Amino acid sequence: MATIDVVCIGNAIVDILTRTDDDFVTQNGIIKGAMNLIDAERAELLYERMPPAIEMSGGSAGNTAAGVASFGGRAAFIGKVAADHLGRVFAHDIRAQGVSFDSHPLENDAPTARSMIMVTPDSERSMNTYLGACVELGPEDIETSKITEAKLVYFEGYLWDPPRAKEAIRLAAKLAHDHKREVAMTLSDPFCVDRYRDEFLELMRTGTVDIVFANEDEIKSLYQTDDLESALEQGISDCKLLIVTRSEKGAVVLSKSERVSVPAIEIEELTDTTGAGDLFAAGFLYGYTNGRTLKDSAHLGALAAGIVIQQIGPRPQVSLKIAAQTAGLI
């Protein structure tokens, strides 16, 4: 009997968010709208140059776990922090949001990861991420009981950057499948796809991954095409279930026998797109693991994404359960 709906595996990161302009992004050599991996020296330089900022826990899979919990789901997170201030901040925040987090902190080594996020006037976010302790995530960090007790294991494509994390993910996928559980991943970022296209396709085509989340740019990048329909057709041939978000155009979900589309929800003001895809995944996975239809699950994803882009920060600041009840979705 599963005691967890979703266990999420990802980079445990504290976000440092600031509002800035396009000139700042250009002058500092930042690739706009992407996740830029940086080293410790670059992280210190950007931090010194940043305008006033706020700190809050983030990380793609961590955001998804927090979203699942906000819907009332049972969520767990596996990720590596250091035994330092930001590590304690991350652990406190994710537990306070109702997520089970028991990973052992790294002692006397690299510091907890941080991502400096520049939000420009068009609400686009450009992430500059120093992975720090995240690179030490390995097979020994995979908690067997959490994997085997979860209905579904979900991980972020960003994990393909730290080398030992690949081993951890493959172990988690094997444990999950041995216990008749499903495995899902998010492609994370077009630049991440460019780095690991062949490996991502191998994960899908070998059945290591059952369910794939992507946005329009990521799925096109995966199949190296400008045609969305072609990318969708190829994608569903390689996995059991494909979910593609399309910003203000909503989302499309494909299985081997079904295709559904849902619109984005109406919003009052676009504030910050950070976490939109993570929260869509949270809503969808909450619905999916609780027996909802693909269409209903996608509507829950659209609701969560629509809520998070109207606030600063990647984790819900209101109860998604109450929001979904008010909208008549649960």
Residue 255 and residue 43: Cα distance in Å, rounded? 41
pLDDT of residue 272: 84
Q: How far is CA 207 from CA 19, 22, 183, 212, 274, in A?
A: 41, 42, 9, 11, 30
How many domains are there within the chain?
1
pLDDT of residue 54: 87
Strand partners, 186: 156, 213
Instruction: Give the residue numbers spanning the domain of 80.
Output: 4-326
Size of the chain, expressed as the number of residues it contains: 330
Spell out the long-range contacts of 204-209 with Cβ–Cβ below 8 A and sequence spacing 24 or more: 204/238, 204/239, 205/238, 207/177, 208/170, 208/173, 208/183, 209/173, 209/183, 209/184, 209/185, 209/239
pLDDT of residue 11: 94
Residue 48 and residue 198: Cα distance in Å, rounded? 37
pTM here?
A: 0.91
Neighbours of 228 (CB within 10 A): 16
pLDDT of residue 8: 98
CATH code for the domain of 165: 3.40.1190.20
pLDDT tens, per residue, the chain with 330 residues: 789 999 999 999 998 989 999 999 999 999 998 888 899 899 989 999 999 998 889 899 999 999 999 999 999 999 999 999 999 999 999 999 999 999 999 987 889 999 999 999 998 889 999 999 999 999 999 999 999 999 999 999 999 987 899 999 999 999 999 999 999 999 999 989 999 999 999 999 999 999 999 999 999 999 999 999 999 999 999 999 999 999 999 999 999 999 999 999 999 999 888 899 999 999 999 999 999 999 999 999 999 999 999 998 889 999 999 999 999 999
The string over 91-104, giving b where at least 16 C-beta atoms fall within 10 Å of a residue's C-beta and e elsewhere, is bebbeebebbbebe
Percentage helix, strand, coil, to 5, in the chain?
A: 45, 20, 35
Triad 300, 191, 122: Cα angle to 5°: 60
Neighbours of 266 (CB within 10 A): 7
pLDDT of residue 125: 85
pLDDT of residue 61: 97
Report percent pLDDT > 70 for the chain: 100
pLDDT of residue 277: 96
- What residues contact residue 48 under an 8 Å CB cut-off, 6+ apart? none
Q: How many CA atoms lie within 13 A of 138 on its CB side?
A: 5
Q: What are phi and psi of 300, to 5 degrees?
A: -65, -40
